[in-house]
Amino acid sequence: MRSPIGIFDSGLGGLSVAREVIRKLPQERIIYFADTAHVPYGERPLEEIKGFALDITRFLIERGAKAVVMACNMSSAVALDEARTRWPDVPILGVVEPGAKVAVRTCDGRPIGVLATTGTVKSEAYARAVGRFDDNIVVVQQACPKFVPLVEAGLADSEEAEAVSRDYVAPLIQAGCGTIILGCTHYPFLRRAIESATGPGISIVDPAEETVLELAKVLNEKGIASDAFEGSHLFYASGETSGFAELGSRFLGEPIERVISLQASVVCVRTHGS
């Protein structure tokens, strides 16, 4: 089934999930939606974020998505259940559940650390998700407000990134965490800096990787995996796209033949009685 996989995020961070899909499922085509008109989600009311997530999920399904990945920790936390209820026939995955699941499997009873944005920390999404798998495990959360600006400034591999990482990781090491979840789609780009801060002996969990493994499983179970890649990936942004092409191709890490820029308008016609 050559319909695409829908993936969305508040911004470009979710491209780390797209990159994993391209690596692990190269026969699948992607439609990606970056909600750059509303990024960042961090300070917005949860109901608003939920509304955005449901609108975007609908948009992707209308464009033919056979499965949808909420590559946004906030969206996954607040909108996943409702989206699954609304579109029961379309597999919808978040990044929080798969991340929490593998962390629980690898933590060996020790505390699990979570590096995340302030919003995701406040939502306690990872703490709740870990609790659903095993409620004896302690979850230690650390908000990392400096991480996203570093990645977006292209400083993921800088000394500054290493110094900031050491500050954020220290409380998790002190709490005895043996496993650390990268609880924001931008953080995989900081993996080297974070690993230099943790040293060896601490497992880093990238929810993107686990989410894509889960996605592969679901596609196979449902018999809707694609048999061959055909055509082109399509990336939408609701607002600003500066840096999209450059960051996009860096995030994707794939040989790109060409990028065609489009303008698009969604016209919502008033429907009667539906």
What residue ranges bind a second copy (CB under 8 A)?
A: 3, 22, 29, 58-59, 62-64, 228-239, 241, 244-245, 248-249, 252, 254-271, 274
Tell me how far apart the alpha carbons of residues 121 and 201 are, in angstroms, rounded to a whole number.
Answer: 24
Q: Which is nearer to a second copy, 37 or 170 (CB)?
A: 37
Give residue for tokens 């911004």: 11
Instruction: Quote the tokens at residue 197.
Output: 């801060």
Kindly tell me which of 47 and 257 has the beta carbon lying closer to a second copy.
Answer: 257
Query: Measured from the CB of residue 254, what is the shortest distance to a second copy in angstroms?
Result: 5
Minimum CB distance to a second copy, residue 239 (Å): 8
Q: How many CB atoms lie within 10 A of CB 264?
A: 7
Please say whether the beta carbons of 232 and 22 come within 8 A: no
- Measured CA distances, 55 to 8, 52, 58, 75 (Å): 11, 5, 5, 11
Given 72, 107, 144, 177, the catalytic residue = 72
Catalytic residue among 107, 144, 177, 184: 184
Give the shortest CB-269-to-a second copy separation in angstroms.
5
- Alpha-carbon span 120 to 181, nearest angstrom: 12
Q: How far is CA 30 from CA 5, 21, 49, 193, 271, in A?
A: 5, 8, 23, 29, 29
Of 187 and 251, the one with the shorter C-beta distance to a second copy is 251
**Spatial contact of 192 and 23, defined as CB atoms under 8 Å apart:** no
Give, in order, the Cα–Cα distances in Å from 95 to each of 135, 212, 251, 271.
Answer: 19, 9, 18, 34
* Residue closer to a second copy, measured from CB, 199 or 269: 269
Cβ atoms < 10 Å from Cβ of 47: 8
* Closer CB to a second copy, 85 or 267, in the complex: 267
How does 34-45 read in b/e, with b if 16+ C-beta sit within 10 Å? bbbebbbbbebe
Shortest Å distance, C-beta 250 to a second copy: 12
Q: Is 144 a catalytic residue?
A: no
Q: How far is the CB of 233 from a second copy (least distance, A)?
A: 5
- Which residues are tagged catalytic? 72, 184
